[in-house]
Structure 1
Amino acid sequence: MMKQLILSGILALAALPLSAQWNRIPTPNDTLQSVRQLGNGTVVLSIYAPQAKQVSIAGDIMPWGKKLDVKRADNGVWSVVVPEVKDGVYRYSFVVDGVKVYDPASPTAGETSALAFVGNENVFYAMKKVPHGAVAQRYYESKNLKTTRRLHVWTPAGYEKSTDKLPVLYLIHGGGDTDNSWPGVGAAGFILDNLLAEGKMKPMIVVMPNGSIPAKDLEGEVPLFEEDLVRSIIPFIENNYRVLADKDHRAMAGLSMGGMETLETMLKDYDKFGYFWVLSSGWFANNKAAYANYQQQLYKIAKGFNKTVRQLVFTQGGPEDIAYQNGKAMLGLFDKAGIRYEYSEAPGGHTWYTWRNNLYTLAQRLFK
């Protein structure tokens, strides 16, 4: 059938970090605060562009008819001081060597990428003529992070008129992404709409939190999310939605970094969930001290885990998945501890092609 290519959104020309399982060299962009308020209406805008020859600023934050100097620091960060900015909300962008670039350090940077939908109208992630659920943006107060955070929630078609209580899947993205990634590039809403309309999955609520938390490294980020999930996210959902609030009606799935957050939750809170799916992820095999610690934790929970958890599944995107070696090595720890699990892999690598297929499969197996 004729394939269709539909382009939507705005292209982010500055590269963003991908969901990944590798350790990379830090850059000034990792800690860059691209918008700083110095007081008295003075604002500093900055971008990390070490190879650029010329940088300017565009948008209605800039004073009309005035040209402000953008200066380059030795570390490759370009900055401009904008005076007398009145309180308000402003659009801005950088022009790097003549190319308009949206701020790659902005919290919403991951949501400015264009999306290319490639395939025919019958693919499982397409928007079809079926009843559609709602994908809502919600804000909650994080107790441990002491801030207001955002998450997305998919509710099935007809939820508003129903009185039924539903099970919940907590679905986590990977590193460098946000809670907008699963409903966006992950096409989660369309996948779930289609499966439900075809009678292939149980009605459920799918919660897509923001697994990205500012921290020095992944080892610091992962436990912060686990605490946020248990102390704040789950209570928020159970206080605001009609859900079945017991372990047999809670599931968690995460990809890459989100898989590590799923593993962390598994170690500390396995008794709160009936289902765990770890997608394209694994503990770093070269960290011997951490590996030994994980082994001991698995030994401690093994008996209770096997008795409590109904389903533990590990998936990989084939040998080309950059998490493949870590994931395979990690399974040895589960084998030694005697923890039961399923394992599968399919070609696709460490990409959304793999993870959309993962969601299509796992949604059909939960709560049955």
Structure 2
Amino acid sequence: MQIKIASRLLLLLIMLFISSYAMSQPPRGPLVVSPQIHPDKKVTYRYQAPSAKEVKLSAQFEKGPVAMTKEANGIWSVTVGPVKPDIYPYNFVVDGISVMDPANVAFFPNERFKASLVDIPGDTPLIHALKDVPHGAVSYEYYPSVTGTTGSLVVYTPPGYDKDASKKYPVFYLIGGTTDTEETWFKVGRANLILDNLIAEGKAKPMIIVMPYGNIEARIAEEKGGPKPADPMGRESEEAVSRAKTFEADLVKNVLPYIEKNYRTVNNKDNRAIGGFSRGGGQTLRTAFSNMDKFSWVCSYSAYLSPKEMESSYKPIYENASRTNQQLKLFWISVGNEDFLYKSTVEFMDFLKAKNVNYKSLVTDGGHTWMNTKVYLTQTAQLLFK
């Protein structure tokens, strides 16, 4: 009898707990599937907002916001496309306010607004697609940085890295752009999957990729409890150049020693490459030109240095062009013909050409986008360390 009473009490307590837990949960609306990619490459987006007066889709593959239609259950939807296969950022604009897609776990790592991401697959897998090939590993690392702060890195090691403890690898230091974080080359640029696929096809040498955070001042402010400083006014302003120097010092004095102590690396200039997109491309050029003893492979994606800055800070690069050409095994410059930095980048290339500094270039369609960066990385990764 006592056993039956105890069982009933236990069942009652469980029912009360479940009831209390259910009552404490926020109300749940209908299941929202978004984005939904159709076989014909059209994409349906949905957003639940019963009280909203207007919802629009803002996507990088559209020329402007696209109005969405409200359904009876309070879900707004729109179908667009077909869309060219690639990875694109998008968001919703709800009564004038930009919001992420709450039904989508994929987002764009950023210091500011974090857009959602849609990955539209190709009929033939794209170079950044997850394929049935050996995969490398991605690790998050923390290292002692400037002014007593702790820096953060994302590090890719190639397939087989953990199987042969005697093998050493070259290193590619790969930097994101303004407002990007150390995760952007990994989560948006898909550097790990691009290298996995190229290595599997025998098109790229196995290498370590180190992806640092480019905004040292923001990290210092965050860790010391201060406000994040505003971005410099102009890419060649005194403040921008000063911050690039801070990044350079951190990379050369802190990141390189940390990586070379904790990973199996070949520690000479011919086995180090540096590359970056946008602000990271400017950091790449300034760091490389100031440390020609450290890097033999330099990749600038959607970036430039002006003739004025070259003349004031980097005369040895072009005054002794033959020496520069011997020192650099690859000097790569790429940009899109609709990029807002296209004109300045072409001016930079013309300056180098006039000074007989050798470089390889690639001008693609499109603008200042992460769709283009994947193209640039794919092309340059096949040239590095060969």
Same fold (TM over 0.5): yes
Q: Distance in 2 between matches of 1:116 and 1:222?
A: 32
Q: Is 1:302 equivalent to 2:324 in the alignment?
A: no
Distance 1:328 1:108, change over 3 A: closer
Please, which of 137, 141, 165 is the counterpart of residue 138 of structure 1?
A: 141
Residue identity in the other structure for 1:276: V
Q: What is the number of equivalent residue pairs in this alignment?
A: 273
**In the alignment, what sits opposite 2:362?**
344
**In the alignment, what sits opposite 2:214?**
211
**In the alignment, what sits opposite 2:13?**
none
> Comparing both chains, which one has the higher relative contact order based on Cα–Cα distances under 8 Å and sequence gaps of 6 or more?
1
Q: Distance in 2 between matches of 1:291 and 1:245?
A: 28
Residue identity in the other structure for 2:186: P
Distance 1:241 1:6, change over 3 A: farther
Q: Is 1:124 equivalent to 2:127 in the alignment?
A: yes
Distance 1:159 1:99, change over 3 A: same
Q: Is 1:160 equivalent to 2:172 in the alignment?
A: no
Residue identity in the other structure for 1:161: K
Q: Is 1:333 equivalent to 2:355 in the alignment?
A: no
Distance 1:257 1:334, change over 3 A: same
Q: Is 1:312 equivalent to 2:331 in the alignment?
A: yes
Residue identity in the other structure for 1:321: D
For residues 272-322 of structure 1, what are the alpha-carbon distances to aligned partners after superposition, in whole Å with 9 as ceiling and x for unaligned? 11111111111256xx4x35314634345634322221111111112x111
Q: Distance in 2 between matches of 1:197 and 1:3?
A: 28
Distance 1:128 1:220, change over 3 A: same
Q: Distance in 1 between matches of 2:355 and 2:306?
A: 18
Unaligned runs of 5+ in 2: 1-38, 46-59, 61-93, 101-108, 218-228, 233-238
**In the alignment, what sits opposite 2:378?**
360
Q: After superposition, where does 1:48-127 map in structure 2 within 5 Å?
A: 109=111, 112-120=114-122, 122-127=125-130
The answer to whether the 8 A contact 2:274-2:295 is kept is yes
**Shift in Å, 1:124:** 0.9
Secondary structure at the aligned position of 2:216 is classed as: coil
Please, which of 311, 323, 343 is the counterpart of residue 292 of structure 1?
A: 311
Distance 1:136 1:111, change over 3 A: farther
**Shift in Å, 1:337:** 3.5
Residue identity in the other structure for 1:293: S
**In the alignment, what sits opposite 1:275?**
297
The answer to whether the 8 A contact 1:6-1:118 is kept is no
Distance 1:152 1:6, change over 3 A: farther
For residues 142-189 of structure 1, what are the alpha-carbon distances to aligned partners after superposition, in whole Å with 9 as ceiling and x for unaligned? 1x4431010100011221112210111111111110111000111111
**In the alignment, what sits opposite 1:254?**
276
Distance 1:363 1:281, change over 3 A: same
The answer to whether the 8 A contact 1:278-1:314 is kept is yes
Residue identity in the other structure for 1:364: Q
Give RMSD over aligned pairs: 2.8
Distance 1:2 1:125, change over 3 A: farther
Q: Is 1:198 equivalent to 2:201 in the alignment?
A: yes
**In the alignment, what sits opposite 1:171?**
174
The answer to whether the 8 A contact 2:110-2:184 is kept is no
> Of Structure 1 and Structure 2, which has the larger fraction of its residues in helix?
2
**Shift in Å, 1:224:** 0.9
Secondary structure at the aligned position of 2:115 is classed as: coil
**In the alignment, what sits opposite 1:184?**
187
Distance 1:301 1:136, change over 3 A: farther
The answer to whether the 8 A contact 1:4-1:118 is kept is no
Distance 1:322 1:275, change over 3 A: same
**In the alignment, what sits opposite 1:80?**
none
Residue identity in the other structure for 1:251: A
Q: Distance in 1 between matches of 2:44 and 2:204?
A: 28
**Shift in Å, 1:242:** 0.5
Q: Distance in 2 between matches of 1:259 and 1:273?
A: 14
Distance 1:267 1:114, change over 3 A: same
